[in-house]
Amino acid sequence: MATTGVMRPGHVQVRVLDMDESIHFYGNVLGLVETGRDAAGRVYFKAWDEHDHHSVILRQADSAGMDFIGFKVRDRATLEKLDADLQAYGVKTERIAAGDLLETGERVRFVIPTGHTVELYAEKTCVGNSQSNTNPDPWTAEAEHGMAPIRFDHALLYGPDIDGNLKLFTEVLGFYLVERVLLEDGKSLLAIFISCGHKAHDLAFVRHPEPNKLHHISFLLQSWEKVLRAADLMSMNRVPIDIGPTRHGITRGATIYAFDPSGNRFETFAQGYETYPDYPTKTWTFEEVGTGIFYHDRQLNERFLSVVT
């Protein structure tokens, strides 16, 4: 799929309750690389193999959760076109000036039907991955620090109007539906998994009565063995684990869900499959939703259903 529009998830701003504790967790336990701090007190991180300045931003607050998620678009002309397309569709947009986030250009911000704040941007400083672009080695010392994810990969968000989200993302922003989960009536949507590239999903939504809720942010690891290593590190550091290691039926990813010190759920996963827009959409029926989410257990635990931030 040609990356002519929205290319990928680019950053997420997460609210944390104790900044010092969170810096230690994201930097030393999860194994992200700190890249800066701003005058507002926010702290910026990237995964070791990401090239842009940051992908995770921490902001201290009184409640945990997500402030916004940002997607990088191909170029400035694409940003202008998508802003105009959103407005023509009836979505109110706001321009956030360049420099509001460190090393980041102007952003187009809007609220989607589930109440979440989404941003588009075209420019962020490329800081590299500690390797030369000439004759590079396959990995660096940072690739062995903590769980050492390759990238911030996707987010799962909870809110009421996932049908509206699906229309907005597919009709305006160029995403396509990869997998879906149906409710008991066999028609209504319980969950959707959408992509703007070849990944099984860049964003997912689950129907939930409260708007603007974060279920988890997800980080890609290199292999199933790295997922198992992450599980060891979680136990060594007394990280609360929700479930795993296990496998998804949906997307086929090998996964662990756990919680950061503020109670924000995060995922470390590997594998999964690649997809294309012409592939048929995969459908999971309501009676098999447990198998779809946790393929080995074939049932959902209560925390996975009820704990959001």
- pLDDT of 195 higher than 70: yes
Q: Which of 66, 21, 64 is nearest to 263 (CA)?
A: 64
Q: Which of 32-46, 129-143, 238-252, 292-306 has the lowest mean pLDDT?
A: 292-306
Q: Percent of the chain at pLDDT above 70?
A: 97
Q: Other C-beta atoms within 10 Å of 235: how many?
A: 10
Report residue 173 as tokens: 């922003």
Based on the residue annotation, tell me whether 53 is a catalytic residue of this protein: no
pLDDT of residue 225 exceeding 70? yes
**pLDDT at residue 141 in the model:** 81
pLDDT band, residue 92 (cuts 50/70/90): very high
Q: How confident is the model at residue 44 (pLDDT cuts 50, 70, 90)?
A: very high
**Is the confidence at residue 22, as pLDDT, over 70?**
yes
What confidence score (pLDDT) does residue 138 get? 86
For residue 2, the model assigns a pLDDT of 52
DSSP string, 127-170: ---SS-SSS--S--GGGGSTT--SEEEEEEEEES-HHHHHHHHH
pLDDT confidence bin for 18, thresholds 50/70/90: very high
pLDDT reading at 1 higher than 90 = no
Contact 36, 99 (CB under 8 A): no
* CA–CA gap between residue 51 and residue 140 (Å, rounded): 13
Q: Mean pLDDT lowest for which of 107-121, 254-268, 295-309?
A: 295-309
- Residue 201 to residues 234, 272, 273, Cα–Cα distance (Å): 25, 10, 10
Give the amino acid at 105: G
pLDDT score, position 272: 83
Kindly compute the dihedral angle of the four CA atoms of residues 187, 188, 193, 196, in this order, to the nearest 10 degrees. Answer: 90
pLDDT of residue 295: 62
Catalytic residue among 11, 54, 116, 201: 201
DSSP E strands in the chain: the ranges are 6-16, 33-37, 43-46, 56-60, 65-73, 93-96, 107-111, 117-121, 151-159, 176-182, 189-195, 203-207, 213-220, 241-247, 253-259, 265-271, 282-284
- Assess whether pLDDT exceeds 80 at residue 294: no
Sheet holding 203-207, edge to edge: 241-247, 253-259, 265-271, 213-220, 151-159, 203-207, 189-195, 176-182, 282-284
pLDDT band at 250 (very low <50, low <70, confident <90, very high): confident
Give, in order, the Cα–Cα distances in Å from 32 to each of 149, 180, 195, 220.
Answer: 7, 31, 24, 12
Q: Which of 106, 119, 179, 267 is catalytic?
A: 267
Residue 88 has pLDDT above 90, yes or no: yes
Confirm whether 257 is a catalytic residue: yes
Is 44 among the residues known to form the active site? no
* Domain architecture of the chain: domains with CATH: 6-136 (3.10.180.10), 147-306 (3.10.180.10)
Could you say which of 11, 154, 208, 215 is catalytic? 154
The pLDDT confidence band at residue 143, using thresholds 50, 70 and 90, is confident
How would residue 297 be classed by pLDDT, with cut points 50, 70 and 90? low
SS (H, E, C) 83-120: HHHHHHHCCCEEEECCCCCCCECCEEEEECCCCCEEEE
Q: How far apart are the first and last CA of the chain?
A: 33
pLDDT of residue 244: 79
